[in-house]
Amino acid sequence: MLRAIYIAIAISLLGNLGMAQQSDHAVSSESQQIAVDAMLERANLELQRNQFIEAQKILVSAKEIASDSAIYAKAQIVQTRLYSFTGQLEQADRNISKLEKIISKDSPSYIELLLVKADVKIKEGDFVVADAALKLISTLKAENSNKELATQLEYQRANLYLHTNNLEQAIEIYQRIIPQLNRQNLFFFETKAAYNLAEAYFKNSNLEQANIAVTSAISTANALDFKGIELDSYLLKSSIAKGLGNFQQAWDYLNRYTLIKEKTVAAANAITNDPKIASTIDKQTAEISNLKKLITNQDSTIKGRNMYSILFLILLTLLSLLTLSLFKNNKLRARSNVTLEVKNSALIDERDRAQDAAKIKADFLSTITHELRTPMYAVTGLTHLLLETKPRQDQQDHLETLQSSGEYLLSLIDNILDFNKLEANKVELEKIPFDLKKRVEDITVSLKNQAKDQLNNLNLEFDTNIPSRIEGDPVKISQILINLVGNAIKFTKNGNIWIRVSQVKQIEDKCLIRFEVEDNGKGISDEKQEDIFNNFTQEGSSTTREYGGTGLGLAIVKNLVELMGSKIELDSKIGRGSIFTFDLWFELPDTNKFYEENSTKGYDHFNDEEEYPEHKKLTRSSQKSNSEVEEDEKNEEVQSDEKINKAEKDPITKTHNTDEKSKPSPAENPIISLKHATPQDLISKKILIVEDNKINQMITRKILEGKNFDCDIANNGIEALAKIKETQYDLVLMDIHMPGMDGKQCTREVRKFDRELPIIALTAVTLDESEKEFYEIGFDDIIPKPFKMNEFFEKIQKAFTNYQIY
């Protein structure tokens, strides 16, 4: 309270400072002391706020009015403190030396001087002297009576510890005296102690505690306007923040420090002309500019670091977004997977249902067509038998219509069956060695009557360069050609049909063969040329009426050609005729291999040269019309009796003899001549009909008996086997599908003990049945069922090479 009153008086005095200076020098010693003390207090305050100019002014005035030496000494102590604050340490030293001599050792000012001395010496780094000064204060025991002094002493000791790196002791003292300083209202020292504590912690690498202490120092310094401490605290705070990795804060505080430091230096500069001080100030200015540079660098580093931080944040955000979108995507995918699975299974169900429906359709058609064959056999067979009974002319006409209708129905059934199989992808290609020339000639011969009926010439042009054996599927090639040539005959009247087979090229073990079927018949309009290859398509509704047909033939041809990897071409003009062309690749078999294969399989009773002996005559000519063929037939009929006799003497089995000696060589191959068989010739020939269907048994038997053959019946394979073992047959006609032992099994059994007996399979060799398999089992030939009569007898003929049956 008393202190406050002094200060108030001093302030009022200070307000009238100028007046006081002029008026009265004879102020009483007591009031002088009070005034000077107040002024010095004020000067100290200004010092604490770094208001050096103000402090200096007050000090000058205080010294002027202090006539008493003790009072003057007090002012000089404050002056020394000012020197210490502004870094003018030499001046401070000089003052201390002077004052040590003047001030009495037992006065309180002496202790104050020692405190200032210790402070200055610590700043100078002269710790021994500083220590001595502090120890001297202790010996004077002045602190016992003055608590404030005791705390200040402690404070300076802590400073000494701090500067001599006795950090633990320094920290301990600061922590202890800070609350005391606060209680004693020594706020400046309290704040300074907080700052020093922060520095001690900082030096001791305890950044967290350093930060707490410096933050407290800043807030008090800021509130009480202790500019110096505030300034130093900013710098320390900046370093601490940097150490804690808080670069933005470090930069902020460094920046604040620099700004205040600039002003402080300018203020210090203003109160001195001392060149040394000027150099100190220069140093400080240089330090400031260094700091500015540092700030700029740090700024850019911080900015850089900030940039990194920003980039890192962006990256983190992107990654999070990515993860989120992946997560969402996954969820979506999982959901759409489920949807897809549901749809998939629905589609699979649909597909299965469609496949089932297609299978049912295919199976139905297959069953129906097979079932239709048996009654159709009865129709065509019985019609044939009736025609043989020399009917009346009107009956004859009806029977012929019945026969042609039956044959049309048969071909329709065959086509439907074949097409059904092609559609169901049940058709597989065979690859067996065969003689293409013979195949084509067979077709020519079998269609010659049909051509004759239409008054057409059937011409075959077969390229002799084509190898005699090629590998492929003979059944399907025959089927294609029969369809094309059949159409050509059907749609041509009084014209010409050319079957051309030529080799396009031969590369290593492959050859490309071109097939052409040309006619000069009615031709096909441009619009219809694409359509006619589709199912059930004919040129117009009148076509059915005029020519019959189903519109399936060309669809089958197209599919078969494509199945063999080619394409069928059509060139046609209305009124000029049509040319159907396709090229097929065939592999050339290794001849030796072929014979090896056959011999090892034990089918040596059958070889290609004996395949169709009756047609050997055709192989001599490559280009013969059917009229020429007929001419040849006539010539052949008048061949020498010697040859005929030789042939007659030859039993049928000879044809199948594999004995090299008995087998005619290709050069001396006898041309087998035919004569019409007389009933006597055939009466002794025994044929076994193996057939489970009673109607078929009856018809086949009647047809054959009509030719005077001696027929026997077996209802199944087992019966047939027994009969063959006990009776010498000349020919067996073997049905294939029978209950119990089927035709194939029966033939296998027969071949175990009789390799010579001719066995002909009576079956529908359809697209997917393998001819090769039949020959491998040991059949000598195949008659397609139900058969057209002329085809049937042609095949039977082969078994009786020396007779012409019809």
Residues that bind ligand ADP (CB under 6 A): 487-488, 491, 519, 521-524, 532, 537-539, 543, 549-555, 578
* Nearer to ligand ADP (CB atom), residue 272 or residue 538: 538
Residue 306 token pair = 């900030």
Instruction: Pick the closest to residue 82 from 68, 62, 103 (CA basis).
Output: 62
* Nearer to ligand ADP (CB atom), residue 406 or residue 521: 521
Q: Please give the single-letter amino acid code of residue 705.
A: E
* Nearer to ligand ADP (CB atom), residue 491 or residue 787: 491
Q: Write the CB contacts of 671 (distance below 8 Å, at least 6 apart in sequence).
A: 616, 617, 636, 639, 643
Q: CB of 366: closest distance to ligand ADP in angstroms?
A: 20
Q: Which residue has the tokens 């291999």?
A: 593
Residue 99 token pair = 């004052």
* Nearer to ligand ADP (CB atom), residue 40 or residue 447: 447
Instruction: Pick the closest to residue 194 from 203, 211, 205, 206 (CA basis).
Output: 211
* Nearer to ligand ADP (CB atom), residue 383 or residue 487: 487
Q: At what angle do helices 108-124 and 89-102 cross, to 10 degrees?
A: 150
Spatial separation of the C-alpha atoms in residues 539 and 182, rounded to whole Å:
122
* Nearer to ligand ADP (CB atom), residue 506 or residue 529: 529
Tell me how crowded residue 145 is: count the other CB atoms within 10 A of its CB.
9
Q: CB of 799: closest distance to ligand ADP in angstroms?
A: 33
Q: At what angle do helices 207-224 and 187-203 cross, to 10 degrees?
A: 160
Does a cis peptide bond (omega within 30 degrees of 0) precede residue 786?
A: yes
Residue 406 token pair = 């039956």
Contact present, 92 and 120 (Cβ < 8 Å): yes
* Nearer to ligand ADP (CB atom), residue 155 or residue 491: 491
Spatial separation of the C-alpha atoms in residues 95 and 77, rounded to whole Å:
8
Spatial separation of the C-alpha atoms in residues 210 and 247, rounded to whole Å:
16
Q: CB of 789: closest distance to ligand ADP in angstroms?
A: 22
* Nearer to ligand ADP (CB atom), residue 543 or residue 716: 543
Residue 119 backbone zone (phi > 0: left; psi -120 to 50: alpha; other: beta) = alpha
Q: CB of 418: closest distance to ligand ADP in angstroms?
A: 12
Contact present, 702 and 656 (Cβ < 8 Å): no
Spatial separation of the C-alpha atoms in residues 540 and 664, rounded to whole Å:
54
Q: Which residue has the tokens 């807030």?
A: 219
* Nearer to ligand ADP (CB atom), residue 374 or residue 529: 529
The dihedral through the CA atoms of 59, 60, 66, 71 has a sign that is positive
* Nearer to ligand ADP (CB atom), residue 220 or residue 543: 543
Q: CB of 551: closest distance to ligand ADP in angstroms?
A: 4
Spatial separation of the C-alpha atoms in residues 260 and 16, rounded to whole Å:
31
* Nearer to ligand ADP (CB atom), residue 217 or residue 554: 554
Q: CB of 593: closest distance to ligand ADP in angstroms?
A: 38
Tell me how crowded residue 794 is: count the other CB atoms within 10 A of its CB.
20
Q: Please give the single-letter amino acid code of residue 673.
A: S
Q: What does 405-462 look like in DSSP terms, one character per residue? A: HHHHHHHHHHHHHHHHHHHTT------EEE-HHHHHHHHHHHHHHHHHHTT-EEEEEE
SS3 content of the chain, % helix, strand, coil (to 5): 65, 10, 25
Q: CB of 458: closest distance to ligand ADP in angstroms?
A: 13
* Nearer to ligand ADP (CB atom), residue 103 or residue 417: 417
* Nearer to ligand ADP (CB atom), residue 473 or residue 519: 519
Residue 225 token pair = 């306007």
Spatial separation of the C-alpha atoms in residues 327 and 724, rounded to whole Å:
81
* Nearer to ligand ADP (CB atom), residue 577 or residue 778: 577
From residue 747, alpha-carbon distances to 210, 689, 778 in Å are 113, 13, 7
Please give the helix or strand (H or E) that residue 571 lies within, else none.
strand 569-573
* Nearer to ligand ADP (CB atom), residue 191 or residue 487: 487
Q: CB of 629: closest distance to ligand ADP in angstroms?
A: 22
Q: CB of 679: closest distance to ligand ADP in angstroms?
A: 40
Q: CB of 581: closest distance to ligand ADP in angstroms?
A: 12
Q: CB of 456: closest distance to ligand ADP in angstroms?
A: 11
Spatial separation of the C-alpha atoms in residues 83 and 56, rounded to whole Å:
10
* Nearer to ligand ADP (CB atom), residue 416 or residue 689: 416
Q: CB of 442: closest distance to ligand ADP in angstroms?
A: 20
Q: CB of 518: closest distance to ligand ADP in angstroms?
A: 9
Q: CB of 541: closest distance to ligand ADP in angstroms?
A: 10
Spatial separation of the C-alpha atoms in residues 482 and 735, rounded to whole Å:
25
Tell me how crowded residue 531 is: count the other CB atoms within 10 A of its CB.
14
What DSSP state is assigned to residue 508? T
* Nearer to ligand ADP (CB atom), residue 294 or residue 372: 372
Q: CB of 579: closest distance to ligand ADP in angstroms?
A: 9
For the beta sheet containing 759-763, the strands, ordered from the edge strand earlier in sequence to the opposite edge, are 710-714, 686-690, 731-735, 759-763, 781-784
Q: CB of 550: closest distance to ligand ADP in angstroms?
A: 4
Spatial separation of the C-alpha atoms in residues 672 and 643, rounded to whole Å:
8
Q: CB of 544: closest distance to ligand ADP in angstroms?
A: 7
Q: CB of 520: closest distance to ligand ADP in angstroms?
A: 10
Spatial separation of the C-alpha atoms in residues 469 and 307, rounded to whole Å:
85
**Beta bridge mates, 82:** none
Q: Round to the nearest angstrom and report the end-to-end CA distance of the chain.
A: 161
* Nearer to ligand ADP (CB atom), residue 519 or residue 611: 519
